[in-house]
Amino acid sequence: MIVCNGQVLAQAKQFDLQDVQTIAATIDLDDVKSYRASIPSLGVQTALMRQKDSLQTMLFEEDVSIGRRETSDGSFPKTSQEIKLTYHSSEEECCMGPACWMWDYLRRSGASGFFLPLSGGADSSATAAIVGCMCVLVYNSAKEDCTSQIAADCRRICDKEEDATWVPKSPQDFANRIFHTSYMGTLNSSEATDSRARRVSEAIGSYHIPIKIDGIIAVFLTLCFTYLNIRPKFQSQGGTIQEDIALQNIQGCAWLLHTFSRNYSLS
The CATH number covering residue 181 comes to 3.40.50.620
Q: What is the residue-averaged pLDDT of the chain?
A: 82
Kindly state whether residues 199 and 135 are assigned to the same domain.
Answer: yes
Name residues whose C-beta falls within 8 Å of residue 213's C-beta, 6 or more positions apart in sequence: 184, 185, 186, 251, 254, 255, 258
**Which residue, 70, 87, 104, sits at the end of a domain?**
87
pTM, full prediction: 0.71
Question: How many domains in the chain?
Answer: 2
d(Cα 174, Cα 167) in Å, to the nearest integer? 9
Kindly state whether residues 238 and 213 are assigned to the same domain.
Answer: yes
Kindly state whether residues 98 and 83 are assigned to the same domain.
Answer: no
**Which residue, 87, 110, 138, sits at the end of a domain?**
87
Kindly state whether residues 201 and 154 are assigned to the same domain.
Answer: yes
- Which among 190, 259, 254 has a CA at the least distance from the CA of 222? 254
More reliable by pLDDT, 33 or 162: 162
- Which among 181, 197, 204 has a CA at the least distance from the CA of 133? 204
Kindly state whether residues 106 and 74 are assigned to the same domain.
Answer: no
Domain that holds residue 117: 92-263
Kindly state whether residues 184 and 81 are assigned to the same domain.
Answer: no
Kindly state whether residues 151 and 97 are assigned to the same domain.
Answer: yes
d(Cα 222, Cα 98) in Å, to the nearest integer? 40
**Which residue, 87, 118, 136, sits at the end of a domain?**
87
Least confident residue range of 64-78, 123-137, 153-167: 64-78
Kindly state whether residues 49 and 145 are assigned to the same domain.
Answer: no
Kindly state whether residues 60 and 154 are assigned to the same domain.
Answer: no
Kindly state whether residues 99 and 83 are assigned to the same domain.
Answer: no
- Give CA angle at 112 (118, 201), nearest 5°: 25
pLDDT of residue 41: 75
pLDDT of residue 251: 65
Kindly state whether residues 214 and 82 are assigned to the same domain.
Answer: no
Adjacent-strand bridge partners of 208: 181
Task: Give the pLDDT confidence of 174-215 residue by residue, as tens digits.
Answer: 999 999 999 988 877 788 889 999 999 999 999 999 888 888
Kindly state whether residues 137 and 213 are assigned to the same domain.
Answer: yes
